[in-house]
Amino acid sequence: MRTNLRSHPHAGRVALALVLLLACRAPEHAAESGELRVISLSPSTTDIVVALGHRDALVGVDQLSGAIDGLRDLPSLGGLFAPDLERALELRPMLVLGVRSESQAAFFAQLRGRGVRVLEIDSSGSLESVLTTYETIGQQIGRQPEARALAAEVRAQLAEVARSVASRAYPSVALVLEREPLYVAAGGSFASALIDTAGGRNVFADLPQAYPQVSLELLAERAPEVLIDSTQGAALGLEAEAAARAYWSRFSWVRRVELVPARIVTLPGAQLAEAARSLRATLHPDLAALSAP
């Protein structure tokens, strides 16, 4: 950033047959009704569907997406890496959205084998690839004009953030996603582009991967002026903040530590401009008022 008829002697086979029958008929029934039924198995794809004005099309989401405002009442398919196949089929989706990953490949293959349309999004790409995702999803859910408008709006907002810091000195930055083992945002990620947009210089921008594992020695060698820790939960608590600061205070080469909630600057969804503004406020505190709603 797992996966009942009981009294009958062949109960297991009967249950399996029912699931397969449901799976084969699900897309047909949804198409006949004309109702778009979407399952989203990633907070990023869920965020984009909602931003495109199609929240009502969602019939199921992953556990993390369920935390998004207005979605807590939707059926949960479980964690990102162990979604519930039987539950997914019961929801009769026309389209399942998710991120491309080796851990979910078998699940998506099972859905396709049962006639369900699946769209896998690459969540580890560049900033431009994330913006292109808006239109890809928009095409799939019949929201192409909204998707183009959203992409244009986000681009304009990012340009505004970049203009606001254009005359400033850019501090060197390391964005940490996990501490043990140590993973950072590198040049192949949209998060690295957001750092640049917000007035920072990613010390790992030369690495082509999106989120590589690096050593503490390499981090110390790169000597970022600002170390941004995004390993916490969606909301920072005092205890978690104290623990994070205590962790980094052990190292004499750490000069300044800033904490941001997870998924604020690492979610490839519709809130890229908000993420850039959050990073700007972190790197240039005197501009924090510009990020206020």
pLDDT tens-digit series, residues 29-87? 333 345 899 999 999 999 999 999 999 999 999 988 887 877 889 998 887 677 888 99
Beta bridge partners, 40, equal 61, 97
Together in a domain, 183 and 101: no
CA distance 84 to 107: 9
pLDDT at 233: 62
Structural domain that includes position 240: 168-291
Among residues 121, 149, 177, the one where a domain terminates is 121
Instruction: Give, as one character, the DSSP assignment of residue 24.
Output: H
Structure tokens at 196: 């640049």
**Is 242 a domain residue?**
yes
Beta bridge partners, 39, equal 60, 96
pLDDT at 279: 96
Among residues 121, 147, 177, the one where a domain terminates is 121
Instruction: Give, as one character, the DSSP assignment of residue 263.
Output: T
Among residues 88, 105, 121, the one where a domain terminates is 121
For 175-232, how does the pLDDT look when each residue is reduced to its tens digit (9 = 90+)? 999 999 999 999 999 999 999 999 999 999 999 999 999 999 999 999 999 999 998 7
Could you tell me whether strands 257-261 and 58-61 are parallel, antiparallel, or unpaired per DSSP bridges?
Answer: unpaired
Tell me the one-letter amino acid at 242: A
CA distances from 196 to 17, 149, 158, 174 (A): 54, 24, 11, 12
Task: Compute the half-sphere exposure of residue 198: CA atoms within 13 Å on the CB side of its CA.
Answer: 32
CA distance 118 to 284: 42
Q: Which of 221, 220, 195 shows the shortest CA–CA distance to 278? A: 195
pLDDT at 168: 95
**Is 262 a domain residue?**
yes
pLDDT at 125: 82
pLDDT at 153: 97
Q: Which of 43, 26, 141, 138 shows the shortest CA–CA distance to 88? A: 26
What's the whole-model pTM score?
0.83
Number of domains forming the structure of the chain: 2
For 247-283, how does the pLDDT look when each residue is reduced to its tens digit (9 = 90+)? 999 999 999 999 988 778 889 999 999 999 999 999 9
pLDDT band for 16, please (50, 70, 90 cuts).
Answer: very low
Q: Which of 139, 30, 41, 45 shows the shortest CA–CA distance to 94? A: 30
